[in-house]
Amino acid sequence: MYHAFQLYEPADAAKILERVKSLEFEDGRLTAGPLAVQRKKNRQVTKGEPLRKLRETLLQDMLRHPGLSGFALPRRFSLPIANLYGPGEEYGPHVDAARMAGLDGLPIRTDLSYTLFLSDLASYDGGALCFQIAGQQMKVRLDSGQMIVYPSTLIHSVEPVTRGERYCVVGWIESMVHDLEARNLLFRLDLFCQLIHGKLAGEPAIAEEGTAIYQGFLRALAR
């Protein structure tokens, strides 16, 4: 259902965080829908030249990361948003909109959502990202530089921050493979192919057969 990985090492994440802190934040409710506006209490940045330059850096690094490309199979990205939660700020249970503005201004289908955590865990309390999965709640608090990618159809929320400040960057992905189950199976097959290549380094023909099967399925399922 989700995939978490280290996008940035702590030193690099700290540099991204400094760039985010220099942005001009506004009330997050300005971009909330009629239902979400009652549940959303945070600050965010959605526009401006400094954010545009930061977006270019983030998207280049995301595209290069095998953890994201293998799991999400991205075709198009939304405009990333920087957000900030301070003491007492939160975002109640909600589902992300089915369409978001893409990098070219045209809407994308939101198959997957992501959150890049930038604040050191010791610098704030609360602020867990919570999911409703099969009637159970899962809470996620990742350290600086770590990212989680999850289906945009999941009901999720951000618990109130009780101390410090929680900085993140969030965004959405339109995948080449819209079907969730098919995308997850492709991800598992990709990991299995990587394992085969490691175990059968002396048998390249056998290892490449696994890769050929994966690419064949991807070619058939991608839209």
When mean pLDDT is compared across 5-19, 41-55, 181-195, 197-211, the lowest value belongs to 197-211
Angle at alpha carbon of residue 199, lines to 197 and 202, rounded to 5°: 75
Q: Indicate whether 98 and 49 sit together in one domain.
A: yes
Domain boundary (137, 153, 175) is at: 175
Q: Where is pLDDT greater, at 1 or 159? A: 159
Q: Indicate whether 157 and 132 sit together in one domain.
A: yes
Paired tokens of 185: 């199976």
* Predicted local distance difference test score (pLDDT) of residue 80: 92
CATH of the domain at 40: 2.60.120.620
Q: Indicate whether 100 and 115 sit together in one domain.
A: yes
Cα–Cα distance, 155 to 204 (Å, whole number): 44
CA-CA distances (angstroms) from residue 183 to 62, 133, 138, 218?
Answer: 18, 18, 22, 9
**Residue 84 sits in which domain range?**
3-175
Q: Indicate whether 86 and 166 sit together in one domain.
A: yes
Collapse the DSSP code of 153 into the 3-class scheme (helix H, G, I; strand E, B; otherwise coil) and give the result: coil
Q: Indicate whether 139 and 63 sit together in one domain.
A: yes
* Predicted local distance difference test score (pLDDT) of residue 35: 75
* Predicted local distance difference test score (pLDDT) of residue 9: 95
Q: Indicate whether 117 and 198 sit together in one domain.
A: no
pLDDT of 206 over the 80 cut: no
Mean model confidence pLDDT for the chain? 92
Q: Indicate whether 145 and 211 sit together in one domain.
A: no
Q: Indicate whether 198 and 169 sit together in one domain.
A: no
Collapse the DSSP code of 10 into the 3-class scheme (helix H, G, I; strand E, B; otherwise coil) and give the result: helix
Kindly state the DSSP code that residue 154 receives in the 8-state scheme.
S
Q: Indicate whether 147 and 210 sit together in one domain.
A: no
Residues β-bridged to residue 136: 133
Q: Indicate whether 78 and 27 sit together in one domain.
A: yes
* Predicted local distance difference test score (pLDDT) of residue 214: 86
Q: Which residue has the tokens 């965080």?
A: 17
Q: Indicate whether 191 and 164 sit together in one domain.
A: no
Domain boundary (175, 193, 213) is at: 175
Q: Indicate whether 114 and 202 sit together in one domain.
A: no
Domain count for the chain, please give it.
2
Domain boundary (160, 175, 190) is at: 175
pTM: 0.91
Number of neighbouring beta carbons within 10 Å of residue 111: 24
Instruction: State the average pLDDT over residues 13-27.
Output: 95
The answer to whether the beta carbons of residues 179 and 73 sit under 8 Å apart is no
Instruction: State the average pLDDT over residues 12-16.
Output: 96
pLDDT of 30 over the 90 cut: no
Cα–Cα distance, 172 to 156 (Å, whole number): 14
* Predicted local distance difference test score (pLDDT) of residue 204: 75
pLDDT of 179 over the 90 cut: yes
* Predicted local distance difference test score (pLDDT) of residue 71: 94
Cα–Cα distance, 123 to 163 (Å, whole number): 8
Instruction: State the average pLDDT over residues 105-114.
Output: 95
